[in-house]
Amino acid sequence: MKFQIPIGPQHPALKEPISLRMTVEGEIIRDADIRLGYNHRGLEKLAEQKTWIQNIYLTERICGICSHSHTTCYVQGVEKLMELEPPKRGLYIRTLVAELERVHSHLLWLGVAGHEAGFDSFFMYTWRDREIVMDILEIITGNRVHYGINTIGGVRRDLDEQQIKHILDSLSVLRQRSEYYKHLGTNEPSFVARLAGVGYLSREDAIALCAVGPTLRASGVPMDVRKDDPYAVYDEVPFEVCTAETGDVLGRTVVRIKELFQCYNIIEYLLKNLPSGPVAVRAPRRAKPNEVVSRYEAPRGENIHYIKSNGTDKPERLKVRAPTLGNYAATIKMLKNGFIADVPLIFAAIDPCICCAERAVSLVDARTGQEKIIVMNDLKRLSRRLSAGNIRKREAEWPL
Amino acid sequence: MATVKTLIYLVIYPGLLFLFLYSTFVEWYDRKLYARLQNRMGPRHTGRFGLLQPIADFFKLMSKEDIVPDRADRKMFSALPAVGLAIVFTAMLLLPVWNYSLDRPSVISFNGDLIVLLYLLSLPTFIFFLAGWSSTNLFSTIGGARVLTMLFGYEVPLFLAVLSPAVLANSWRLAEIAAFYRQRPALSLVNLLGFVIALICVQAKLERTPFDIPHAETEIVGGTFTEYSGKKLALFRLMMDAEMVVAAGLLATVFLGGFPGGALLGLVNFIIKTLVVIFFLSLIRATTSRIRVDQVVSFAWKYLAPLAILQLLIVILVKGLIS
């Protein structure tokens, strides 16, 4: 007997609204479908009405986890447009925050994976230790989530000796804890039984379906923007691209844990080789008419911003391609012929950030299957027309 | 006098009142232990050390709005929580706590009450299945199917593991089994393997991690209980807590020598021994992750069932040696 089960738009496994529809036979998934568009915020349109500087804080709000990734990606693009050369110390601090963000994002993901697999102790432990990174970020930038440290031409805050010492001390604690998670995540029998062989994605499929980030690297493709197209100071910093050959959720876990250790090495290197000098240069208010594509390796994968300027102090167009969007096609492939029980794990394994990925709403007519893009004003008009006849309930009745 | 004694047995100890209070305490104990193992505080707001939190939760749920889905079988949907609770509370009466005599079998302690108790502990599983099925919700239906699938895995190893001490004691009566191991404590060591198997199976029966598959929230929302709310959900939760007490009591009787010493000392014995069993159950819950339903069945038949048979063989050999 085949039937469809909906996962989302509202479901306890999903922290953000997205709709996954599974056609299942018993416990086995025969077909899967992803529907987007529940979380559209019109950020790109808004960006066209704000100045270059204001847009830094707008792009920061694309995502709550990789907020630094989006600003850095944007700021790098704008710096190219304005032909600015940020000072070395500024770039080092920018990279430092980026790597700390990667650490907190990966620790968060480990916890989420534990929770989706029903391993709540793992979740509680990783999230407790994630607080250490959050504290470091707060000490450097003053904020825990939206750091607001990037500015066009450098960064806004400098580091002092005391902060560096604190970060290095905390780092040794984190290293120790990560060793423990590495052991637990790859040895605890019931956890590994849930991860191994689940959501398999072959090397060929991963390349053909344009997977990005740890999902791609777990299928054995050593692709990382930090190595392939170095930005900031990644050409000076020694690090390795972490891969796994298994192509399953266990591989994605291993890649992320390996990356954690690479992050610690990078952070240590950056702090020990921090050059002196200013942290930012003055940026002009306008940019010459031009266009640019900026790439950035976010914790979840490759992040792309396309920016077009027209000579004013506002961008003409800003287009954001978040890493999650790049992984959707591969997710469908991974879900097919799996178990219902593995859906949350497989979906969580791409580390989805739905609010990052949602860029436009398209409506599908249920009868004809026609798609059309609709603008906000039309939606408003539609809802007013539909609700015109309704009698408004003045007082809701108390159920007891 | 006998009537008063029976009345006390039914209503106060170990009947309604005691089981209600003790199962809320056990829920607190389990939650607190689970939280401490995860480096959290656990309940601490209501009452001293948060001891009244489960009771507060129970009464809060009782006062919540109670919804029955339109397409659900209304009678069955409403009757199931009450029936389930009644079954578990009846099962509690069969545990040899006090008010029984070893020489004279009575209605609460007779030859074969072990089987009756196991039977009464199997019924809640069917109640959960029916609850999921009668809700007509998609998630509940899947949850209900998972309940039954799991049952085929753990039920046989549980029966074998619990019956092997009975074989050694040469009795099907709980009070006699307990008395046998009290007289020869060294012989309970023979059943160590059976105890471990029974612990794992009880964990599966109680649907706790790693076997919380029928109501895995990240997969199928509330599972069997998706459509239940208010009073009915409160009764179900109480039923699961009471089931934990009864199952722990059963293991304590069969493997740990029961609860000697009459009403008062027996009570102390009962509390200490069940808490020891529940400690192990909480430990398993905190240190494992949820496995898949097919993994439960294969694990049960590949490892648990053969080991349970091995235990039975050991018991038969030992029995031959000592007689």
What would the pLDDT profile of A69-88 be if each residue is shown by its tens digit? 999 999 999 999 998 999 99
Window 160-219 of A, Cβ < 8 Å to B: 188, 190-191, 193-194
Residues A191-229: tens digit of each pLDDT: 888 888 888 888 999 899 888 989 999 998 998 898 888
pLDDT of residue A391: 55
Work out the percent of chain A whose per-residue pLDDT is above 70: 91
DSSP, collapsed to helix, strand or coil, labels residue A304 as: strand
- CA dihedral sign of residues B168, B171, B174, B179: negative
Evaluate whether residue A27 is within a structural domain.
no
Evaluate whether residue A109 is within a structural domain.
yes
B323–A contact, CB cutoff 8 A? no
Nearest to B218 among A3, A27, A344 (CB): A344
Q: Please, are residues A307 and A44 in contact by the beta-carbon 8 Å criterion? A: no
pLDDT at A265 over 90: yes
DSSP, collapsed to helix, strand or coil, labels residue A317 as: strand
Residues A358-381: tens digit of each pLDDT: 765 556 666 666 666 666 677 677
pLDDT at A167 over 70: yes
Q: A397 is written with which tokens?
A: 């009745």
pLDDT of residue A371: 66
Cis ω on the peptide bond leading into residue A278 (within 30° of 0)? no
Q: Please, are residues A31 and A336 in contact by the beta-carbon 8 Å criterion? A: yes
* Cα distance between residue A321 and residue A70, in whole Å: 10
pLDDT of residue B114: 92
Evaluate whether residue A63 is within a structural domain.
yes
pLDDT of residue B1: 79
Contact A341 B65 (CB under 8 A): no
pLDDT at A230 over 70: yes
List CB contacts of B9: < 8 A, sequence separation 6 or more: B15, B93, B98, B99, B108
Q: A142 is written with which tokens?
A: 């003053």
* Cα distance between residue B43 and residue B62, in whole Å: 20
Nearest to B40 among A124, A339, A342 (CB): A124
Q: Please, are residues B248 and B278 in contact by the beta-carbon 8 Å criterion? A: yes
Evaluate whether residue A299 is within a structural domain.
yes
pLDDT band per the 50, 70, 90 thresholds, residue B219: confident
Helix, strand, coil percentages for chain A (3-state, nearest 5): 50, 15, 35
> Could you identify the residue written with the tokens 């209501």?
B46
Q: Residues A218, B221, A354, CA angle at the centre, nearest 5°?
A: 45
Q: What is the mean pLDDT of residues A98-113?
A: 91
Q: A303 is written with which tokens?
A: 């992040």
Evaluate whether residue A222 is within a structural domain.
yes
User: Which residue in A18, A2, A5, A6 sits closest to A348, CA to CA?
Assistant: A18
Q: Residues A128, B287, B26, CA angle at the centre, nearest 5°?
A: 95
Q: How many domains does chain A have?
A: 1
User: Which residue in A310, A303, A315 sits closest to A53, CA to CA?
Assistant: A315
Contacts of A400 in chain B (CB under 8 A): 63, 65
Evaluate whether residue A261 is within a structural domain.
yes
User: Which residue in A152, A54, A62, A141 sits closest to A101, CA to CA?
Assistant: A141
Q: How many other CB atoms are found less than 10 A from the CB of residue A377?
A: 8
Residue in A closest to B40 by C-alpha: A124
Contact A344 B138 (CB under 8 A): no
* Domain range for A55: 50-326
Residues B139-160: tens digit of each pLDDT: 888 889 889 999 998 999 999 9
* Cα distance between residue A45 and residue A41, in whole Å: 9
**pTM (2 d.p.):** 0.85
Residues B251-282: tens digit of each pLDDT: 999 999 888 887 888 899 999 999 999 999 99
DSSP, collapsed to helix, strand or coil, labels residue A362 as: strand
List CB contacts of A176: < 8 A, sequence separation 6 or more: none
Evaluate whether residue A213 is within a structural domain.
yes
pLDDT of residue A360: 57
* Cα distance between residue A164 and residue B300, in whole Å: 53
> Could you identify the residue written with the tokens 């829920």?
B27
What distance separates the 2 farthest-apart alpha carbons in chain B?
Answer: 63
Q: How many other CB atoms are found less than 10 A from the CB of residue B292?
A: 23
pLDDT band per the 50, 70, 90 thresholds, residue B213: confident
Q: A320 is written with which tokens?
A: 């954001």
B292–A contact, CB cutoff 8 A? yes
Residues B87-118: tens digit of each pLDDT: 999 999 998 888 788 888 888 888 889 999 99
Q: A315 - beta bridge partners?
A: A309
Q: A34 is written with which tokens?
A: 């992803």
Evaluate whether residue A342 is within a structural domain.
no
Q: How many domains does chain B have?
A: 1
- Average model confidence (pLDDT) for chain A? 85
Contact B138 A5 (CB under 8 A): yes
pLDDT of residue A394: 53
* Cα distance between residue A377 and residue A249, in whole Å: 42
Contacts of A114 in chain B (CB under 8 A): 289
Min mean pLDDT across A50-59, B163-172, B217-226 is at B217-226
CATH number at residue A276: 1.10.645.10
Residues B31-85: tens digit of each pLDDT: 999 999 998 998 988 888 999 999 999 999 999 998 898 888 889 999 999 999 9
pLDDT band per the 50, 70, 90 thresholds, residue A397: low
Residues B117-139: tens digit of each pLDDT: 999 999 999 999 999 888 888 88
For residue A127, the distance in angstroms to the closest alpha carbon of chain B comes to 11
Window 19-58 of B, Cβ < 8 Å to A: 37-40
Contacts of A187 in chain B (CB under 8 A): none
- State yes or no: ipTM above 0.90: no
Nearest to B209 among A116, A118, A128 (CB): A118
* Cα distance between residue A293 and residue A304, in whole Å: 7
Contacts of B289 in chain A (CB under 8 A): 114, 117-119, 122, 188, 190-191, 194
DSSP A398: P
* Cα distance between residue A221 and residue A180, in whole Å: 27
* Domain range for B230: 2-322
